[in-house]
Structure 1
Amino acid sequence: MSGQYYNPYGGAPVPPPPEDKGSTALRTVLIVAAIAGVVTVVAGLLIVLKSPDEYGLASNRDPLTVEAQPDGNASGDPQQALFQAAPDVPPPLPEIKPAPPMLPSTPVRIVIKRLGINAPIKSVGLAKNGTIEVPPADNPNLAGWYRNMSTPGEAGPAVLLGHKDTRTRSAVFNRLPELRHGDTIEVKRQDRTTAVFTVGGIEQASKATFPTQRVYGPQDNAQLHLITCGGTYNRNTGHYTDNVIVYATMTSSYRS
């Protein structure tokens, strides 16, 4: 029905109301003004986004370069999954047959070529509070061998400890989490032999649930367990929340 509106309440159709020319002109002006406003806003945003520094919108955080990504892996390969198991589960072993254990001999130096580590080893015992002593912080490139356990290359677990960092710089075991299954670690001994260990796995464990049995429990073959700090640094206690533990098994040896 051209020119008529249907009356929903019944009866005959009703004619449309007369056209208000003034209202039509006002609507046209408002629509044009709205379109012009949108165009102005979009143009302003484009200008700001092209020069964020000039408008105080630049990020205060510098982007990480590829070489500095948290996993330390610039090649893009997936990061190795950390070993996870109940505390009484044996340590992970490499896919290489363990070498026969050697006679005891005090360790003097640890070398991890992949991480650029070449550090002297100091003998440490127990502190007054019953925990294992750590090497002095004033010598960040120093590892500690817990002398109440096996020597590296001897049957059983040999335990070496090292700082992750100090108040001013990184320390000897800072890059331990970068080790991978199958990497090798060399420990030079006082008897002029070098024990070569192959990494079986790496674990990050809370200090509140430290896997004591896995780290210090008896083993038939010669193992090397490296321990350093990890997790989050607690400024209230002055300590990290976790430990990073590397499990390695002796797979060969040679005379220096």
Structure 2
Amino acid sequence: MAAPQSPGSTSTRTAPGSTLGRALTWPAVTAGLGMLLIYNSFGTSADGKPPTPPAAAVAPAVPEVLGSHAAPRPVAPSGRPAGPALLRSVPTRLQIPSLGVNAPFTGLALGAGGRLNPPPANDPNLVGWFKDGVTPGERGASIVAGHVDTLTGPAVFLQLQFLKPGATVDITRADGSVATFKVDSVETFSKAKFPDKRVYSDTASAQLRLITCGGPYNKTAKDYEDNVVAFAHLDSSKNG
């Protein structure tokens, strides 16, 4: 996948000329409180055995990134419900004005071997969410992920690492409402030392996590070494 660059700057990533076209593989789901996210490059799913999926996911869980330690124990939300929250409603469109992102959603389901299928690689302007998890705006941590690039070039989250704290993320939902999230931070984590609990643990307030690949490209592993994660909270909502 290509390394995002800010206008007029030189990328700090190490990315070979062939990195465009590295898609992502996706999470596996574990029992307990919900989903185990295993985020990696497309075509490298043999790097680890996926956990056995549950009969049904009952709430968001604590995920891990491929290459990190064994799956952590599910973590329950701490504290009483806080802040605004919405009822469950499927997301239909993601807009990030400061990055020029305007993309439809697709629901992601489990495929063979218990892995969550990625968004179609032939559509670079598409984001996905685990459809059995928390919908954006509900209380808890909702996970939204997209490609940084695909076989055809740059993709929807190419510039995610440049998203600034205080920026807004608007998610239109099937019930006609628009949930507006405010970005708290954008951070890059090594996949080998990914802070699973911090990113994926359930929360007492309505939270959003936007995730893509980042960092140097490892030619041997055919994978980016890092994940870029944007942390955001529900700030307001309105009828569309």
- Specify the TM-score bucket, using the shorter chain as the normaliser: 0.5 to 0.7
**TM-superposed deviation, 1:193:** 0.2
**TM-superposed deviation, 1:130:** 4.3
**Paired residue secondary structure (1:237):** coil
Q: Deviations over 1:211-233 (max 9, x none)?
A: 22122211011111000000112
The worse-fitting range, judged by mean Cα deviation, of 245-254 and 125-134 is 125-134
Matches within 5 A, 1:75-90: none
* Residues in 1 aligned to 2:6 and 2:102: alpha-carbon distance in whole angstroms: 27
* Residues in 2 aligned to 1:66 and 1:142: alpha-carbon distance in whole angstroms: 23
**Structure ranking higher in strand proportion:** 2
- Please point out which of 103, 114, 125 is paired with 1:119: 103
**Paired residue secondary structure (1:153):** coil
* Residues in 2 aligned to 1:139 and 1:250: alpha-carbon distance in whole angstroms: 28
Please identify the structure whose Cα radius of gyration is greater. 1
Q: Residue 96 of structure 2 aligns to which amino acid in structure 1? A: I
- Please point out which of 226, 233, 245 is paired with 2:217: 233
**TM-superposed deviation, 1:131:** 4.3
Structure 1, unmatched stretches of 5+, are 1-63, 72-86, 89-97
**Paired residue secondary structure (2:178):** strand
Q: Which residue of 2 aligns with 1:42?
A: none
**Structure ranking higher in helix proportion:** 1
The worse-fitting range, judged by mean Cα deviation, of 106-115 and 207-216 is 207-216
- Please point out which of 69, 76, 91 is paired with 1:107: 91
- Please point out which of 220, 225, 228 is paired with 1:244: 228
**TM-superposed deviation, 1:148:** 2.9
Q: Residue 9 of structure 2 aligns to which amino acid in structure 1? A: A
Q: Which residue of 2 aligns with 1:212?
A: 196
* Residues in 1 aligned to 2:102 and 2:215: alpha-carbon distance in whole angstroms: 24
- State how many pairs are aligned: 170
The answer as to 2:123 corresponding to 1:182 is: no
Q: Residue 90 of structure 2 aligns to which amino acid in structure 1? A: T
The answer as to 2:157 corresponding to 1:173 is: yes
Q: Which residue of 2 aligns with 1:224?
A: 208
The worse-fitting range, judged by mean Cα deviation, of 158-167 and 234-243 is 234-243
Q: Deviations over 1:150-208 (max 9, x none)?
A: 10000001100100011331000010011111110000000000000000011211112
TM-score (norm: length of structure 2): 0.65
Q: Residue 213 of structure 2 aligns to which amino acid in structure 1? A: C
Q: Residue 117 of structure 1 aligns to which amino acid in structure 2? A: V
Summarize the Cα distance change of 1:164–1:136 in structure 2 as closer, same or farther, 3 Å threshold: same
The answer as to 2:135 corresponding to 1:151 is: yes
* Residues in 2 aligned to 1:65 and 1:246: alpha-carbon distance in whole angstroms: 17
**TM-superposed deviation, 1:146:** 1.4
TM-score (norm: length of structure 1): 0.61
Structure 2, unmatched stretches of 5+, are 13-68, 73-81
